[in-house]
Amino acid sequence: MDDATTQGKGLSTQEASKVVVQHDWDGEDCLAVTIARAAAEAWTGDSDDAMTLPPVGSVVDPDALENLFAPSRNRGRAATDGGQPTEEQEPASSVRFTYVGYNVSISENGVVVVEDPSSLDEL
């Protein structure tokens, strides 16, 4: 596998024990599928092995993840509740959890990072 490959769902980069994928918020796959595919790629080198992993929902609520990042995806759009959109820069939101033995980090811009925890020992 190449160090950087472009797949239909976005950019995927794999280093030793680390996979970085850009989730497509407007695409057909939900965030849970992106996470499972990235974890499978980290584990076996093939994102299509995602179906062999336990459901992401066994460790985190997929709907809650989607809802958590929904407000950040809507920034810049007109407020529909009578309020006014702000121009202030808020810190980027992120979530971290463990899935099938890998550390998973998701940021509001859709970047999903899956890392082998043993690779963090080398830092």
- Domain membership flag for residue 81: no
- Domain membership flag for residue 50: yes
Total domains present in the chain: 1
According to DSSP, the residues that pair with 14 across neighbouring strands are: 19
Residues 6+ apart with CB under 8 A from 51: none
pLDDT at 108: 86
Residue with the larger pLDDT of the pair 6 and 122: 122
The residue segments making up the domain with residue 40 are: 4-75+90-120
Q: How many CB atoms lie within 10 A of CB 1?
A: 10
Could you tell me if 108 and 92 are in contact, meaning their C-beta atoms sit under 8 angstroms apart? yes
- Domain membership flag for residue 38: yes
CA distance 23 to 26: 9
- Domain membership flag for residue 85: no
- Domain membership flag for residue 94: yes
pTM for the model stands at 0.72
According to DSSP, the residues that pair with 19 across neighbouring strands are: 14, 114
- Domain membership flag for residue 29: yes
- Domain membership flag for residue 80: no
Handedness of CA 51, 52, 54, 56 (dihedral sign): negative
pLDDT at 70: 74
- Domain membership flag for residue 68: yes
User: pLDDT tens-digit profile of 57-110?
Assistant: 999 999 999 888 876 666 554 445 444 555 565 667 899 999 999 999 999 889
Alpha helices (runs of H) in 1-123, residue ranges in sequence order: 31-44, 62-73, 117-120
pLDDT at 85: 52
CA distance 69 to 111: 12
